[in-house]
Amino acid sequence: MPFNQPFPRSFTPSSIRDYAPALSGVYGISNAAEWIYIGESDNIQEALLGHLQGVAKPVLTRQATGFVFEICEWAKRPARQDRLIFEYEPACNRRLSQHE
C-alpha cells in the first residue's frame, strides 16, 4: 500500500517545520526521478531536518526535492517502513542494505 499522502511537500527547512509533525511515523524522501530514502522515527520532523543538514549524505547527493510522511505508532513503524521500501525500492535503502 503506497504512502497515504500522495503529493510530496518541498524538502526545505521551512516546509519541514510547517508540515512535518514531531510525532512517531514513517517518511519518504524523493526527487523528480526516484524515491531516495524511506525511514522511520519517533520524531518525523527531527529526522527530516537531520537529513537536510547532511546527517545522511547519500540523500543529499541525490538532490532531494520532496518528502511525504505517515503518522503511526512505534510498534507498527518497522513493518510499515519495510512494506514501503519493498514497494518503492528507494535508492539509498538499497545501498544501505547491500552493506549490511
Q: What is the pLDDT of residues 54-99, one digit of tens each?
A: 766 778 789 999 999 999 999 999 999 999 999 999 999 975 544 4
Evaluate whether residue 18 is within a structural domain.
yes
User: For residue 57, what is the domain's CATH number?
Assistant: 3.40.1440.10
Residue whose C-alpha cell reads 531536518 in the numeric block: 49
List pLDDT tens digits, range 3-30: 988 789 999 999 999 999 999 999 999 9
**How many whole angstroms separate alpha carbon 33 and alpha carbon 55?**
22
**How many whole angstroms separate alpha carbon 18 and alpha carbon 81?**
23
CA distances from 82 to 6, 8, 9, 37, 53 (A): 18, 20, 22, 12, 25
pLDDT of residue 100: 42
The number of folded domains in the chain is: 1
Its domain, for residue 28, covers: 9-98
Evaluate whether residue 55 is within a structural domain.
yes
Task: Give the predicted TM-score (pTM) of the model.
Answer: 0.90
Q: Which residues contact 7 (CB under 8 A, 6 or more apart)?
A: 68
Q: Which residues contact 29 (CB under 8 A, 6 or more apart)?
A: 11, 35, 36, 37, 38, 39, 48, 51, 59, 64, 66, 67, 90
pLDDT of residue 54: 77
pLDDT of residue 72: 96
**How many whole angstroms separate alpha carbon 4 and alpha carbon 63?**
23
pLDDT of residue 18: 97
